[in-house]
Amino acid sequence: MKELICFAHRGASGHEPENTLAAVEKAIALRADWIEVDVYAVAGELIVIHDERLERTTNGAGYVRDASLSYLRSLDAGKGQRIPTLREVFDSVDGRAGINVELKGPKTAGLAVSLIEEYVRERLWNYEQFIVSSFSRRQLRKVRKLNPQIRLGILIDRPRRRYAIFARRYHAYSVHAQINIASARFIAHAHERGLKVFVYTVNSPEDIDRLRALGVDGIFTDFPELIVSR
Ligand code: G3P
Ligand code: CA
């Protein structure tokens, strides 16, 4: 059976605080192929956090978009970890895994493209080491307009087929599907269109085996060892 690509979801978030450098390091230690992180734009910087508010994952309060960079950087994101910038994540990964940047908020596309271009140009990384994904078609369109070489991943959580029109028009690389919609039909439909199928978020061995048998290309998991060891 074909190899499943392992995406460490928010880093190895089953082991370390999600979207922190500790979770990134743990994912690499567990031999994840890719690290997935979520980003928002704050004062011209991409910061790595999942929610639009701070309460669930940090000791801060309020909306991420209303906070200053210095306030965000003063917070504890769990076990004494700071909220990292995307640049810190790139430096921490340092070519040891691919990086899937999920654009969560407005004005993230241009900043993500600039950062990726910088690492390709100045650090000699390859475009194949990045995937930029989003639920926001607007942010994905911007990425594609700014750079035709960056791999785009379309996130979907409902069984709609319209994503395929967008995928063809904007030359998407992959579709990132919520586990409940990853049926055999859905997977075949995406594969027929030349898209890789990556499924989130899969934390049980039974689901991993089932999805592998269905032919998905990769899985997002909080526990990378579940995939790597199977
Ligand atoms: O990128 C896959 C997955 O992370 C999307 O959902 O809510 O975990 O960001 P969420
Ligand atoms: Ca995500």
Q: What is the DSSP string of 4-60?
A: PEEEEETTTTTTS-TTSHHHHHHHHHTT-SEEEEEEEEETTEEEE-SSSBSTTTSS-
Q: What is the pLDDT of residues 151-207, one digit of tens each?
A: 999 999 998 889 999 999 999 999 999 999 999 999 999 999 999 999 999 999 999
What's the 200 CA to ligand 1 centre distance in angstroms? 7
* Alpha carbon 109 to chain centroid, angstroms: 14
Confirm or reject: Cβ of 38 under 6 Å from ligand 1.
Answer: yes
pLDDT band at 139 (very low <50, low <70, confident <90, very high): very high
- pLDDT for 160 equals 83
**Ligand 1 pocket test, candidate residues 53, 151, 155, 197, most atoms within 8 A of CB:** 155
Cα 63 from Cα 65, distance rounded (Å): 5
What's the 118 CA to ligand 2 centre distance in angstroms? 23
**Ligand 1 pocket test, candidate residues 37, 101, 102, most atoms within 8 A of CB:** 102
Cα 199 from Cα 218, distance rounded (Å): 6
- pLDDT for 178 equals 98
Confirm or reject: Cβ of 200 under 6 Å from ligand 1.
Answer: yes
DSSP-based three-state secondary structure for 1: coil
- At 102, which helix (H) or strand (E)? strand 98-103
Tell me the pairing of strands 98-103 and 34-42. Answer: parallel
Tell me which residue range forms the domain holding 85. Answer: 5-228
Please give the biggest Cα pair distance in the chain.
49
What's the 134 CA to ligand 2 centre distance in angstroms? 8
Residues 172, 175, 176: CA angle, nearest 5 degrees: 135
Confirm or reject: Cβ of 104 under 6 Å from ligand 1.
Answer: no
What's the 179 CA to ligand 1 centre distance in angstroms? 11
What's the 181 CA to ligand 2 centre distance in angstroms? 17
Q: Whose CA is nearest to atom 5 of ligand 1?
A: 200
Q: What is the pLDDT of residues 32-54, one digit of tens each?
A: 999 999 999 999 999 999 999 99
If one counts the domains in the chain, the total is 1
The whole model's pTM is what? 0.98
Domain CATH code at residue 159: 3.20.20.190
Confirm or reject: Cβ of 18 under 6 Å from ligand 1.
Answer: no
Whose CA is closest to 37, among 82, 104, 117, 111? 104
Q: Whose CA is nearest to atom 3 of ligand 1?
A: 200
Confirm or reject: Cβ of 222 under 6 Å from ligand 1.
Answer: no
Whose CA is closest to 202, among 187, 224, 221, 216? 221
- pLDDT for 230 equals 58
How long a stretch of residues is the chain? 230
